[in-house]
Structure 1
Amino acid sequence: MTPATAPRPVPRLIATDLDGTLLRDDKTVSERTVAALAAAEEAGIEVFFVTGRPARWMHVVSEHVHGHGLAICANGAAVVDLRDGGRVLTVHPLERPTALAVVQALRAVAPGVSFGVETTVGFHHEPVYPRMQAYDPGMIVAVAEKLLEEPPGGGAPVVKLLAHHSELAPDAFLGLAREAAGELASLTRSSPSALLEISAPGVSKASTLARCCAERGISAAEVVAFGDMPNDVEMLTWAGTSYAMGNAHPDVFAAAGRLTAANNDDGVAVVIERILHDLPDT
């Protein structure tokens, strides 16, 4: 945590998670938050949405992107242009042989697990895998193993593998999965259910945010980050200033340097307003 006597750099970029953080529980962005985001950009502070969501689920905030129009999706596996229909600009794929090895490892330690496969062109899932969004059911496949076999030409890049278990507790499932497959891939979670999100080794919100910041000449010390779930931990640890939401998972409380109000109480906007108030006069 930053010592109280050390002057903090003026923030140049705000990185915020969406679900449980920027968004209220009803998946809306409050008028107060919309105004705060616009004011931050007007003051010259870039805002990046950094989420586990795929690009096609970014409609909830696409109209609130200012300036650059970019967002980091799928826990860092993709950078997309929200001004161009969510077009994928860069991707850090989970190679299919690696994804297949993860599937086999998890089936061995967690019988009853079901899988979904997120690619740059769509979503496929096994029959018993739960539908997360009624408006986006995806395409059903018999077994994930068949989908993950290397097709001619390589097929569309896999940005995320998802694993769901209907009986295990969420954190217990994550711990078990990391023991079984943590050397193969990056495993995390952001759902209140036992749903794991699996990316290529070394890929996280933090790794891709760091690249985006480096391209802009922005240091970690100049970043303010917000999050609420385990998939935010690396980002909150990397950022110079980080906030756990009042509704955050215990691991996030431990990783963040500071605490703000819950998502339903506009915790992100509260901090942005304070940042803007404290900006030095120019």
Structure 2
Amino acid sequence: MGEDGPVTSAPQHPTAPRLIATDLDGTLLRDDKSVSERTVAALAAAEAAGIEVFFVTGRPARWMDVVSDHVHGHGLAICANGAAVVDLHAGGRIVEVRDLPRPVALDVVHTLREAAPGTSFAVELTTGINYEPAYPPFFLDPGASVAAAEKLLHPDHSSAPVLKLLAHHAELSPDDFLTLARAAAGTKAAITRSSPTALLEISGLGVSKASTLALACAERGISAAEVVAFGDMPNDIEMLSWAGTSYAMGNAHPDVLAAASGRTVANNEDGVALVIERILAERTG
């Protein structure tokens, strides 16, 4: 489908949108991690029309440079799947944390080691990421400590809040690993995924993109009905289900397509920009 092709499924907007919440990877960003000129223009036009824009991502604050040049208005972003609210105008300073308690993180580590032997872990702190020797290395974080998760989670190693635990399995399929982990530890923590590999992201119970976005909207007097959300992977499902209007990208996971109220074209075809342009055209039409 071409850039200017129709939105596959376009819900009506019974309430004038006041906030756009968009995922980054696989959604707003193209596969080469760039933001197209069309998308930059659409985001700026939305904020000029009085619609707030929130970037809502699984990325940590330090990986927000991909959109730092395109921040307008308030400049807040929701990172680490809802575990951190970040001020992009202040160089990615974390202004709010919804942490994963260390005893819970340790419990999940032990539970998944037993339920899925071969699982390796990384620990995302407010100060950066650290990981186990068997965990795929983070080339964007060369200064990370490497040790067993039990040591990485010990307060003597670092007292910084834990934003999320990451669990990787080299043999299980991504969806099978997610199903297994939720069955084993889903009552202890929030478990989701956004990677095409068997990499799970584990947050505090009740922490998600949706729950943090809901808190941010409540502070602004914005209702769910006034939010338009975009996403492509399982970690977006709660947000897409909560928002009054939601769009799955043309490249989205099947469960995301089922959860969203509408569908747009793929990230490489500027699917977010296409919808924003149509929302603004409706306001002026």
Q: Which ranges in structure 2 are unaligned for 5 or more consecutive residues?
A: 1-9
Please name the residue that 2:128 is paired with.
122
Matches within 5 A, 1:160-179: 160-179=164-183
The verdict on how the C-alpha distance between 1:237 and 1:138 changes in structure 2, with shifts beyond 3 A counting, is farther
Cα distance in 2 for residues equivalent to 1:168 and 1:245: 26
1:139 aligns with 2:120: no
1:205 Cα deviation from its structure 2 partner? 0.1
Q: What residue in structure 2 maps to residue 261 of structure 1?
A: 265
The equivalent position to 1:106 in structure 2, one of 112, 122, 141, is 112
SS for the counterpart of 2:40 is: helix
**Residue 229 (structure 1) shift:** 0.1
CA contact 2:13–2:245 (8 Å) conserved in 1: no
Are 1:117 and 1:125, in contact at CA under 8 Å, matched by a contact in 2? yes
CA distance 1:40–1:108, shift in 2 (3 Å): same
Matched, 1:11 2:14: no
- Scaled by the length of structure 1, what TM-score is found? 0.95
Report deviation, 1:128. Answer: 1.5
What is the TM-score with the length of structure 2 in the denominator? 0.94
RMSD, matched Cα: 1.6
Does residue 73 of structure 1 match 2:79?
A: yes
Pick aligned residue for 1:225 from 225, 229, 236: 229
SS of the equivalent of 1:163 reads strand
Pair 182,7 (structure 1): closer, same or farther in 2 beyond 3 Å? closer
Q: Which residue of the partner structure matches residue 30 of structure 1?
A: 36
- Give a deviation string over 1:166-199, Cα, whole Å, max 9, x none: 1100000000000110010000000000000000
Provide structure 1 residue ranges, at least 5 long, that are not aligned to the other structure.
none
Number of residue equivalences: 276
Give the conservation status (yes or no) of the 8 Å contact 1:127–1:140.
no
1:27, CA displacement in angstroms?
0.4
- Output one character per residue of 1:23-53: Cα deviation in whole Å (capped at 9) or x when no partner: 0000000000000000000000000000000
Runs of 4+ in 1 over 6 A off after TM superposition: none
Alpha-carbon distance in 2 for matches of 1:209, 1:201: 15
User: 1:87 pairs with 80, 84, 93, which one?
Assistant: 93
2:68 is matched with which residue?
A: 62
1:199-210 alignment to 2 at 5 Å? 199-210=203-214
8 Å contact 1:97–1:150 — kept in the other structure? no
Q: Look up the equivalent residue of 1:119 and give its one-letter code.
A: L
Residue 190 of structure 1 contacts residue 231 of structure 1 at CA under 8 Å; is this kept in 2?
A: yes
Aligned to 2:252: 248
C-alpha distance in 1 between matches for 2:75 and 2:259: 28
- Distance in 2, Cα, partners of 1:151 & 1:76: 26
Match among 254, 275, 278 for residue 271 of structure 1: 275
Shift of 1:142: 2.1
